[in-house]
């Protein structure tokens, strides 16, 4: 069964979930409880709700607190996915600023390129945005927008970092050269990136981000979260055994979690955690975490 496989794979956290799915639905314990139960069956003990910022009005922090009281064995994080939506996300940013102290975790993502009325990752319609285009230029434009998101000061982690590949379009230029500046900014801003299994169920059939980007991020000591991008509680923790195997092959020994924007690193496989100011490489190595809650963004 999928439950036993995930429970034994060593991963314990899913930091990209969408209880509202693709429409605005008010948070209630009844809506959220199935997500907690699904996590529990899989052996996950730390989950973040990260609905799209366009559905921010459905987020109810009181209901999340009620859910926590009902499920003390699972750490439940209040989060949001802040997009570059040209219609909704200006208001979304203001909402994040207003509710910063209530939020544990903010994902930053880019779903829009030049078209204001369509996400480029829509399947299959979004693929039309790539037809007849200079793919290298689209990649460069995409990562420029990712850097803009990383520079807002409003996010803790970047979601599906190479989402631009979703329809299978690959750049002619070396991916390392295209993404290096973006990773440098992420490191400078002390942000995390997610390892998202969602790519395996998309047309590209590949983890977000691809292996070369993960290797670059590792060299820059950028921390990782683990994520499914579940839009149904049936998808929570999806393909985590496969992700766990890949992480072990690549030598990724830690994942991070967030509590009121304070990042903590957890050592996998040995099932232990360490202070967010320590480093497995020794005291002289850069800290993987900032060791304190990030300051509330200035308005």
Higher pLDDT, 283 or 37: 37
Burial class of residue 172, CB neighbours in 10 A (0-12, 13-18, 19+): exposed
- Whether residue 295 lies inside any domain: the answer is no
pLDDT at 122: 86
Enter the pTM of the model: 0.90
pLDDT at 271: 44
Where do the DSSP E strands lie in 111-261? 157-158, 192-196, 224-227, 254-259
pLDDT at 9: 79
Q: Does residue 279 have a pLDDT over 50?
A: no
Q: Does residue 1 have a pLDDT over 70?
A: no
Nearest CA-CA partner of 195 in 261, 242, 135: 242
- Whether residue 233 lies inside any domain: the answer is yes
- Whether residue 10 lies inside any domain: the answer is yes
Q: What is the mean pLDDT of the chain?
A: 90
Q: 196-214, pLDDT tens digit by residue?
A: 999 999 999 999 999 999 9
**Do the Cβ atoms of 84 and 149 come closer than 8 Å?**
yes
Domain membership of residue 170 as a residue range: 2-257
- Whether residue 154 lies inside any domain: the answer is yes
**Do the Cβ atoms of 257 and 225 come closer than 8 Å?**
yes
Q: Is residue 9 within a helix (H) or strand (E), and if so which, with residue range?
A: none
Q: Does residue 287 have a pLDDT over 50?
A: no
Domain CATH code at residue 215: 3.20.20.140
Number of folded domains that form the chain: 1
- Whether residue 266 lies inside any domain: the answer is no
- Whether residue 81 lies inside any domain: the answer is yes
- Whether residue 282 lies inside any domain: the answer is no
- Whether residue 190 lies inside any domain: the answer is yes
Q: 90-102, pLDDT tens digit by residue?
A: 999 999 999 999 9
Determine the average pLDDT of the residues in 156-171: 98
């Amino acid at each position: 069964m999928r439950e036993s496989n995930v429970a034994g794979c060593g991963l314990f956290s899913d930091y990209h979930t969408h209880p509202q799915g693709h429409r605005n639905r008010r948070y209630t314990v009844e809506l959220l409880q199935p997500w907690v139960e699904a996590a529990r069956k899989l052996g996950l003990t730390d989950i973040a709700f990260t609905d799209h910022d366009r559905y921010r009005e459905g987020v109810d922090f009181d209901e999340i607190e009620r859910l926590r009281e009902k499920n003390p064995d699972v750490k439940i994080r209040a989060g949001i996915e802040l997009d570059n939506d040209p219609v909704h996300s200006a208001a979304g940013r203001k909402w994040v600023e207003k509710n910063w102290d209530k939020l544990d975790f903010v994902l930053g993502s880019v779903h829009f390129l030049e078209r204001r009325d369509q996400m480029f990752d829509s399947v299959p319609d979004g693929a039309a945005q790539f037809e007849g285009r200079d793919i290298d230029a689209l990649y460069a434009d995409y990562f420029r927008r990712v850097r803009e998101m990383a520079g807002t000061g409003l996010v803790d982690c970047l979601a599906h970092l190479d989402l631009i590949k979703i329809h299978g379009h690959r750049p002619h230029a070396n991916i390392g050269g295209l993404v290096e500046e973006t990773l440098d900014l992420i490191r400078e801003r002390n942000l995390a990136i997610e390892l998202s299994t969602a790519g395996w169920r998309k047309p590209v059939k590949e983890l977000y981000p691809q292996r070369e980007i993960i290797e670059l991020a590792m060299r820059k000591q950028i921390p990782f979260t683990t994520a499914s991008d579940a839009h149904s509680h049936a998808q929570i923790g999806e393909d985590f055994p496969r992700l766990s195997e890949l992480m072990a092959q690549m030598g990724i020994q830690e994942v991070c979690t967030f509590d009121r924007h304070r990042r903590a690193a957890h050592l996998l496989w040995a099932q232990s955690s360490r202070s967010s100011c320590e480093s497995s490489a020794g005291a002289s190595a850069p800290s993987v975490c900032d060791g304190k809650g990030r300051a509330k963004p200035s308005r």
